Amino acid sequence: MDYTKLKKEELIVILEEQRHLAEAVNAKDAEISKLSAMVSELKFKGIEEKNILNGKISELENKLRNIPNVSTMEESAKKLDAEYKKLLAFSNQHINVFKNTLKALQGTLDNAIELQDIIVNDMIGK
């Protein structure tokens, strides 16, 4: 587009559109920051849950040593271990979903920024 042939009012309209795009990019940056904080929090909670479950497993193992009916306690420990693994997989799935969402949003922002650069460069005649 040849911006040199446009009137001042038309150029102002185009610049306003660019300002709106810049505001949208800033809003998406804030959203990405918020999502990144959520992912970090989920990772931290996952680690806390893992530590809690590991503590419970250790506690059960100690009880197993002191109880005559070891076979039922071993089964309980195996069930707890299986549940822990299932919860860990569930947490990892959620973390991956947030990570993929962040990547998609970053790609969208990169495209918007590149488009804005192209339009600005066209405006100044590069």
Digit-coded pLDDT (tens) for 10-69: 888 888 888 888 888 888 888 888 888 888 887 777 788 888 888 888 888 887 777 656
What is the spatial distance between Cα 88 and Cα 45, in angstroms, rounded to a whole number?
11
Query: What CATH architecture does domain 7-115 belong to?
Result: Orthogonal Bundle (1.10)
Q: Could you give the 3-state DSSP secondary structure of residue 68?
A: coil
**Helices and strands (H, E) in the chain, number of each type:** 2, 0
Q: What are phi and psi of 68, to 5 degrees?
A: -65, -35
pLDDT digits (tens, 9 = 90+) for 57-106: 888 888 777 765 667 778 888 999 999 999 999 999 999 999 999 999 99
The answer on pLDDT for 118 being more than 70 is yes
On the CB side of 105, CA atoms within 13 Å amount to 19
pLDDT at 40: 82
Nearest residue to 108 via CA among 20, 17, 25: 25
* Domain range annotation of the chain: 7-115
Task: Kindly indicate the confidence band of residue 113, based on its pLDDT and cuts at 50, 70 and 90.
Answer: very high
